[in-house]
Amino acid sequence: MTVSVRMQRSALRKINMHVNEVARSRGVETIGWLLGFFGRSEVWVCDSVPCTRYKSQSRYGAHADAREEVELAMQYPRNVGIVGIFHSHPFRGETEHAVFHSATDDSTLKSRASRHENYLSVVTDGTDTEFFVLRDGAQPVKPEIVESISYREEMKSYRCPLAFRLRRETSLPRVDFVPGYLEQEMLALVERDLRGDGLRVKKDSNTIEVPALQGGAESNSLVITKTGSTAMIELEMILEPMVFVRGGNAEELRTAVKNEILDDVVFLLWNSLGGGSTSLDGVKSFEANLGSFRVHETSPLPRKIFKPPRGSAVLVREG
């Protein structure tokens, strides 16, 4: 299948300025990410961000700290965000052909193309830039460089205000098992509640309603109360995810809403509980505010802004 790539000129300029500056000042390779969105057979690249935290960086290769990519991906709603990677070959003048897709580059692209068949790999020496996609090995593609790309023109967006409660009684032994457990429970809950006409699309106001998940929450919080060997877990969530879709049939919207809810809940839970490994032995209660997300329709792409909770978690031990 052929793919057409459109890239905003400013995103390309940003890559080459960064690559040239690092090549000049330190003579090492640089890497970074391409941001945009995918169509069925199109890729739009609206922005680019250079990596700032490296695991290793030399003249002949560079590896990003894996956390940076995860954190970057979290800043965008699903269907928007990372569409490719770029890296530099700062060997201009040293070899005849500096811009090529090496065997290492091939295997990197192979691992990324599992996320999307049209995932892009861009190689540049700061002047010449080449684009590749994975088809039987790395295939060059010729992008169309355009002055501006508007996701508002290419995608439809819907707000989906939600407020719901989840109560479960369990016998989990440790507090840090709670996010994983609730992730499973949430998945079951949204799969049930979004089914059929559980999800209602209001085209005139660009909103999506999920009646089963609207009402019943006053805050974003998690409370665990222990009695004997069982624990009562009470999760309250107020979310206002936004989904961005190209086509927008019911199935596409259902998947997008489901993914947004799970992304938000999982992030908020792990953010408040993930670091610890507290045993529930001797714990009487645990209470945490979880913070919240808001989607801002900024340019060149919409962003998800995380607002951390006020106050820290309160853990009360028996006795």
Q: Contact positions toward Zn ion, by CB under 5 A?
A: 102, 105
DSSP string spanning 175-210?
Answer: GGGHHHHHHHHHHHHHHHHTSGGGSEEETTTTEEE-
Pick between residue 125 and residue 260 the one whose CB is nearest to Zn ion: 125
Nearest to 101 by CA among 77, 82, 128, 76: 128
What is the distance between the alpha carbons of residues 55 and 26, in angstroms, rounded to a whole number? Answer: 16
Q: To the nearest whole angstrom, how small is the minimum distance from the Cβ of residue 67 to Zn ion? A: 22
What is the distance between the alpha carbons of residues 288 and 231, in angstroms, rounded to a whole number? Answer: 15
Q: To the nearest whole angstrom, how small is the minimum distance from the Cβ of residue 226 to Zn ion? A: 54
Q: Are the C-beta atoms of residues 146 and 4 closer than 8 Å to each other?
A: no
Helices then strands, counting H and E runs in the chain, come out as 6, 21
Q: To the nearest whole angstrom, how small is the minimum distance from the Cβ of residue 101 to Zn ion? A: 7
Pick between residue 96 and residue 147 the one whose CB is nearest to Zn ion: 96
Q: To the nearest whole angstrom, how small is the minimum distance from the Cβ of residue 106 to Zn ion? A: 9
Residues contacting 228, CB < 8 A, separation 6+:
none
What is the distance between the alpha carbons of residues 131 and 137, in angstroms, rounded to a whole number? Answer: 13
Q: To the nearest whole angstrom, how small is the minimum distance from the Cβ of residue 87 to Zn ion? A: 5
Strand partners, 202: 207
Q: How far apart are the first and last CA of the chain?
A: 67
Pick between residue 57 and residue 102 the one whose CB is nearest to Zn ion: 102
Pick between residue 85 and residue 243 the one whose CB is nearest to Zn ion: 85
Max Cα–Cα distance, the chain, nearest Å: 75
Q: Residue 201: CA atoms inside 13 Å, Cβ hemisphere, count?
A: 18
What is the distance between the alpha carbons of residues 212 and 209, in angstroms, rounded to a whole number? Answer: 9
Pick between residue 138 and residue 199 the one whose CB is nearest to Zn ion: 138
Pick between residue 102 and residue 214 the one whose CB is nearest to Zn ion: 102
Q: To the nearest whole angstrom, how small is the minimum distance from the Cβ of residue 116 to Zn ion? A: 20
Q: To the nearest whole angstrom, how small is the minimum distance from the Cβ of residue 107 to Zn ion? A: 11
Pick between residue 51 and residue 290 the one whose CB is nearest to Zn ion: 51
Q: Which residue is at the shortest CB distance from Zn ion?
A: 105
